[in-house]
Amino acid sequence: MSEALRPMVKSRLYEQVLERLRAYVTEAGLKAGDKLPAERELAASLGVSRASVKQAIVVLEVQGLVEARHGGGTYLVRDTLDVEPVEQLVERRKRLPEVLEAREALETKLAELAAERRTEDELDAIRASLDFMHEEIVDGGFGVEGDRRFHAAVTAAAHSSLLADFMKAIAGQITESRNESLRQPGRPHRSLAQHTAIYEAIAAGDPKKAAAAMRKHVRTVAKVRLLDWVPED
């Protein structure tokens, strides 16, 4: 599609106010806890209505960058009005070695929690993923989908939405590494065996064993990757 013919985006006024506000905070060197000028004042300075200023402030409010106290002024929460890196994760998460480190940290804990908290149904789901992966391999596949289901089932059984969210943040990268690592000779069978060990520890309700088994598994994946990958820094 032609760059010139993409849909016209008419900048909303509040977006411009937002930019001016960010610039102002930077230029004036405002820090966390400092007070922003009053809405009426900002409106007058920028030559816009108070409603537009208000809309911009609401945006900053929902982003947690600013705190408006009824009757008491509006205050900076951080030293800047730029959004936090957390929201930029989507970009950052592309670096594989770090993803594998994070994966180890998260999945080890998830396996531990799963061993403590899994219900019978969840245990069945994990076992089902094992069976599925076995089928895939017997049919000559790599067990990619079974692998995915296994880790998803363990994550679900851990009952931690926060850790699950973190996993989701690196899910795309994990998928990529899974696809490649399971194509290594002998890997599908070995992976299935490791999954089984993790499953047994979870079934037995042994958190330490589950964590150890998961750690070993994730490290296996990491090692394979390192054979053909050299971290750039």
Among 74, 108, 160, 173, binds DNA (CB under 7 A): 74
Q: Is 38 in the site for DNA (CB under 7 A)?
A: yes
Q: Is 221 in the site for DNA (CB under 7 A)?
A: no
The distance of Cα 35 from the centroid of its chain, to the nearest Å, equals 33
Closest distance between a copy of itself and the C-beta of residue 103, in Å? 10
Among 59, 68, 128, 212, binds DNA (CB under 7 A): 68
Nearest-angstrom CA–CA distance, 23 and 45? 14
3-state SS, one letter per residue, for 8-50: CCCCCHHHHHHHHHHHHHHHCCCCCCCECCCHHHHHHHHCCCH
Q: Is 102 in the site for a copy of itself (CB under 8 A)?
A: yes
Q: Is 51 in the site for DNA (CB under 7 A)?
A: yes
The residues pairing with 35 across neighbouring beta strands, listed in sequence order, are: 75
Q: Is 142 in the site for DNA (CB under 7 A)?
A: no
201 CB-side CA count, 13 A: 23
Among 26, 33, 40, 121, binds DNA (CB under 7 A): 40
Strand, coil or helix: what is 217?
helix
**At which residue do the structure tokens 């899994």 appear?**
118
Closest distance between DNA and the C-beta of residue 53, in Å? 8
Closest distance between DNA and the C-beta of residue 93, in Å? 23
Q: Is 170 in the site for a copy of itself (CB under 8 A)?
A: yes
Strand, coil or helix: what is 170?
coil
Q: Is 166 in the site for a copy of itself (CB under 8 A)?
A: yes
Sequential DSSP letters for 59-89? HHHHTTSEEEETTTEEEESSS-SSPPHHHHH
The site for DNA (CB under 7 A) is made up of 12-14, 36, 38-41, 47-52, 54, 57, 68-74
The site for a copy of itself (CB under 8 A) is made up of 10, 12, 14, 51, 54-55, 58-59, 61-64, 70, 84-90, 92-93, 95, 98-99, 101-102, 104-106, 108-110, 113, 160-163, 165-166, 168-170
